[in-house]
Amino acid sequence: MNNRALVSVIMPCYRAYDTLTRSVQGVLSQTYEAWELVIIIDGADDMLEKLAEDLGKQDARIRVVNSLKNRGVSRSRNIGIRISKGSYLAFCDADDFWFSDKLEQQMRLMEDRNVQLVCSSFYFYNPITQNRKLVRTKSRINRTTLFYTNPIPLSTVLFSRSILNNCCFPTMPKPYIHEDYAFWILLFSGSEFDVWNLVLPTTEILQQVDSRSSNKFIAIKSHGYILRHYANIRGMFWLCCIMSYVWYAVSKRLSLFSK
């Protein structure tokens, strides 16, 4: 463990009373032991702070940061990046869950194949239907791939801090969402680096049916906004990218809700 590279896991947390414990347990269960978990409480919340601090007592590798002001998920992630110490970065939302070999598999790949970013397939879990579906994204990922879809599920990712180049999560104006997608566009615009996508799933992602991200009209508008303002795409190419995004989104949802 002492000779292994440190992975900083960033976990923004907002009203995650029912899901935080399981998300933290997924990190605690990792067979790769050289990690630190930075939990950022986004806004004054005594009940959530106590829950996070009680979880932090289980392991000295857990740090809890309390933000008195509700800054939003982008700024919370940026705070986590800024104060973390690892040479590798990973993100786990406070309602997602990692399988125990997630970091071990990904670190082995990064070391063996000399890649700078690894993501993976995942299971999408619908709490209403209790459907658990395997979702695979693009096997080959580069900046052009990102124009048509977001093939990098944030809670599955691990990457070297060296490719960050001061890139940060942008704060999206209302009603737009998908800050992580805008982050990938910015990150891939800064430099060329090798990406590997694991076929085996490493993560279970909870589908929050009443969340802003479940509103597909807002999701499509957000995709178009990000393409215009962060990728500088206009005209017919912009329209083709939007149509591709809708196609991938519909295909994924049909797969999720089918029996």
Q: Judge whether 194 and 116 are in contact, CB under 8 Å.
A: yes
Domain 1-95 adopts which CATH fold?
Spore Coat Polysaccharide Biosynthesis Protein SpsA; Chain A (3.90.550)
Looking at residue 211, what is its pLDDT?
59
pLDDT at position 118 over 90: yes
pLDDT band of residue 59 (cuts 50, 70, 90) is very high
Looking at residue 184, what is its pLDDT?
97
Mean pLDDT is lowest, of 39-43, 65-69, 70-74, 211-215, for: 211-215
Give the residue extent of every domain in the chain: 1-95, 96-259
Q: CA torsion sign, 165 to 171 to 176 to 180?
A: positive
| CA–CA dist 178, 192 (Å, integer) | 22
| pLDDT average, residue stretch 154-161 | 98
pLDDT band of residue 256 (cuts 50, 70, 90) is low
What proportions of the chain, in percent to the nearest 5, are helix, strand and coil? 40, 20, 35
Half-sphere exposure for 37 (CA within 13 Å, toward CB): 32
pLDDT at position 171 over 60: yes
Q: Judge whether 233 and 147 are in contact, CB under 8 Å.
A: yes
Instruction: Convert the pLDDT of each residue in 211-237 to its tens digit.
Output: 555 678 899 999 999 999 999 999 999
- Specify burial of residue 192 (Cβ count, 10 A radius: 0-12, 13-18, 19+): exposed
| pLDDT average, residue stretch 108-118 | 93
Residue 217 phi, psi (nearest 5): -65, -45
pTM: 0.93
| Residue 188 CB partners (closer than 8 Å, separation 6+) | 142, 143, 146
| CA–CA dist 205, 185 (Å, integer) | 22
Instruction: Convert the pLDDT of each residue in 174-196 to its tens digit.
Output: 999 999 999 999 999 988 888 99
| CA–CA dist 38, 240 (Å, integer) | 39
Residue whose C-alpha is closest to residue 153's, from 171, 141, 170, 163: 141
> Could you give the maximum distance between any two Cα atoms of the chain, in Å?
54
Q: How many residues are recorded in the chain?
A: 259
pLDDT at position 162 over 80: yes
pLDDT band of residue 258 (cuts 50, 70, 90) is low
